[in-house]
Amino acid sequence: MSKADSTKRQPVTGTGRFISGVVEGFYGRPWTMEQRTELFKREQKWGLNTYLYAPKDDYKHRMYWRDLYAAEEAEQLMGLISAAKQHDVEFVYAISPGLDITFSNPKEVAALKRKLDQVKEFGCRSFSLLFDDIETEMCPADKQAFSSFAHAQVAITNEVYKHLGEPEVFLFCPTDYCAVFCTPSVTQSSYLNTVGEKLLPGIDVLWTGPKVVSHKISVESIEEVSSVLKRAPVIWDNIHANDYDPQRLFLGPYKDRPTDLIPKLKGVLTNPNCEFYPNFVAIHTLATWCKAPAEGAPRDVEMGDEEQDPCYSPQKALNLALTDWLEEFMSTDQPGGPCHPRLKKESSEEEPMQTDMGESPYVPGPGENPLYTAEPLTLDDLKLLSDLFYLPYEHGTTARTMLQELDWLKNQSQAAAAETDKTAEWCSRAQQFDNMCEAVVQMFNRLSNAPNRSILYDLYNYICDIKSGVGLARAYVKTLGGHSQPSAQLLNDDPEPWGFRGGLSGEFQRMLPGHGNRDLFRHPPMTAVYCIRPYCPEDKPEVERIFREMQKAGEGKTALMAQPPLISDSLSAGEIPPSSLCGLILEDDLGLCGYALALIDAKPAAAKIQRAVSGSVFEEFPSVIALEMLPRVTDPSPAKRMIGQLLSSIRSSGSRGAFCELRQSNRRMLDFYSKLGSFKLVQMDGLPQDILVMATSL
Residues with catalytic annotation?
A: 133
Nearer to ligand GDL by Cβ, of 182 and 646: the residue is 182
Measure the CA–CA gap between 478 and 636, rounded to whole angstroms.
27
Nearer to ligand GDL by Cβ, of 196 and 594: the residue is 196
Measure the CA–CA gap between 166 and 200, rounded to whole angstroms.
10
Find the helix or strand (DSSP H, E) in which 429 lies: helix 420-448
Contact 155, 146 (CB under 8 A): yes
Instruction: Tell the smallest beta-carbon distance from residue 96 to ligand GDL (Å).
Output: 9
Nearer to ligand GDL by Cβ, of 51 and 679: the residue is 51
Q: Which residues contact 98 (CB under 8 A, 6 or more apart)?
A: 130, 131, 132, 133, 134, 153, 175
Identify the three-state secondary structure at position 397: helix
Nearer to ligand GDL by Cβ, of 85 and 215: the residue is 215
C-alpha closest to that of 638 among 487, 497, 526: 526
Helix, strand, coil abundance in the chain, percent, nearest 5? 45, 10, 45
Measure the CA–CA gap between 178 and 207, rounded to whole angstroms.
6
Instruction: Tell the smallest beta-carbon distance from residue 173 to ligand GDL (Å).
Output: 6
Binding interface with ligand GDL (CB under 6 A): 25-27, 56, 132-133, 173, 177, 208, 212, 236, 238, 241, 243-244, 271
Q: Which residues contact 72 (CB under 8 A, 6 or more apart)?
A: none
Instruction: Tell the smallest beta-carbon distance from residue 208 to ligand GDL (Å).
Output: 5
Instruction: Tell the smallest beta-carbon distance from residue 332 to ligand GDL (Å).
Output: 32
Find the helix or strand (DSSP H, E) in which 682 lies: strand 680-682
Instruction: Tell the smallest beta-carbon distance from residue 224 to ligand GDL (Å).
Output: 19
Single-letter amino acid, residue 85: K
Cis peptide before 184 (omega within 30 of 0): yes
Nearer to ligand GDL by Cβ, of 237 and 539: the residue is 237
Nearer to ligand GDL by Cβ, of 233 and 657: the residue is 233
Contact 257, 282 (CB under 8 A): no
Nearer to ligand GDL by Cβ, of 205 and 584: the residue is 205
Nearer to ligand GDL by Cβ, of 68 and 212: the residue is 212
Measure the CA–CA gap between 454 and 457, rounded to whole angstroms.
5
Residue-by-residue DSSP string for 1-47:
--HHHHHHSPP----SSPEEEEEE--SSSPPPHHHHHHHHHHHHHHT
Contact 381, 446 (CB under 8 A): yes
Show the DSSP H helices in 60-207 as ranges.
71-86, 106-121, 140-145, 149-163, 190-198
Tally DSSP H helices, then E strands, for the chain.
22, 15
Instruction: Tell the smallest beta-carbon distance from residue 274 to ligand GDL (Å).
Output: 9
Measure the CA–CA gap between 432 and 387, rounded to whole angstroms.
17
Measure the CA–CA gap between 160 and 109, rounded to whole angstroms.
8
Instruction: Tell the smallest beta-carbon distance from residue 134 to ligand GDL (Å).
Output: 10
Instruction: Tell the smallest beta-carbon distance from residue 211 to ligand GDL (Å).
Output: 10
Find the helix or strand (DSSP H, E) in which 286 lies: helix 280-291
Measure the CA–CA gap between 174 and 55, rounded to whole angstroms.
17
Nearer to ligand GDL by Cβ, of 213 and 658: the residue is 213
Instruction: Tell the smallest beta-carbon distance from residue 582 to ligand GDL (Å).
Output: 37
